[in-house]
Copies of this chain bind each other. A is one copy, B any other.
């Protein structure tokens, strides 16, 4: 239920997953975030890159935030149950 991201595509997938987890449509999220449904579609599918402003607008609307972490660390599985 936590996502690691090393590319815009990863972020898109994380957003989609979080959105669906909250049972929101792209339109719902568009209303909450002020970002267009069309833009959300493009971000989630990774067809277009985004600006970080847009990214944070979506994350905020989904009650998410980012953590900046070193790439080299224990296996992800170890952390699964912490969050």
Contact = CB atoms under 8 A, between A and B. Distances in A.
* Main DSSP-derived SS at the A contact region: mixed
Given A50-B51, A53-B8, A69 B79 contact: no
A49 B53 CA distance: 7
Interface residues of A, number: 36
Nearest to A14: B68
A64 B8 CA distance: 14
A64 B70 contact: yes
14 contacts: A4-B65, A5-B67, A6-B65, A8-B52, A15-B68, A18-B68, A49-B52, A51-B52, A63-B70, A64-B70, A65-B68, A65-B70, A66-B69, A73-B83
